[in-house]
Structure 1
Amino acid sequence: MWYECIPSYAIMTICMSMPNVVLYGLNKLTQNGNAYSRCADERWDRFFIARDRAHTGSEYVCNGLETIPDEPQKK
């Protein structure tokens, strides 16, 4: 019957999701509590991380066009 495939489906689903769960936990443990780290292998990536850190105080918060004022500031 159709229900005979449920154990096989459960085993496959668990095996396919294990790498995601394990990597999340490993990154959380090894990267100061942040499971989603940014890669800074290249100079260009380090530039963008430094830019985001200077603008917002965090490398994980990015500014968009909404932060640019509509009218030029008067001096």
Structure 2
Amino acid sequence: MKASRFMLGALAACWAASALAQPLADDPSAPKTREQVRYDLRAWLAAGYDPNDWIHYPENAMRAGRIVAQRRADGPPMTQ
């Protein structure tokens, strides 16, 4: 009985530690790595963003930004 109570306590402690550590890893104000920037660029290009389309620039970027945000909210992230 003592061993199972100890294991339950250890499991709860590990769960709490990982739950508290997760938001620290996703700090939006932290600078992005090159891989994260490439990942974001691939997501925007997949959403239809064309960096060479300067005639429709604001609309093109805003539309792609909405699509990327919706895709990230809907499902699992794209694989890197």
**Does TM-score exceed 0.5, indicating one fold?**
no
Q: Which has the higher helix share?
A: 2
- Between Structure 1 and Structure 2, whose CA radius of gyration is higher? 1
TM-score normalised by L of structure 1: 0.37
Q: Whose relative contact order is higher, 1 or 2, with alpha carbons under 8 Å and at least 6 apart?
A: 2
Q: TM-score, normalised by structure 2?
A: 0.36
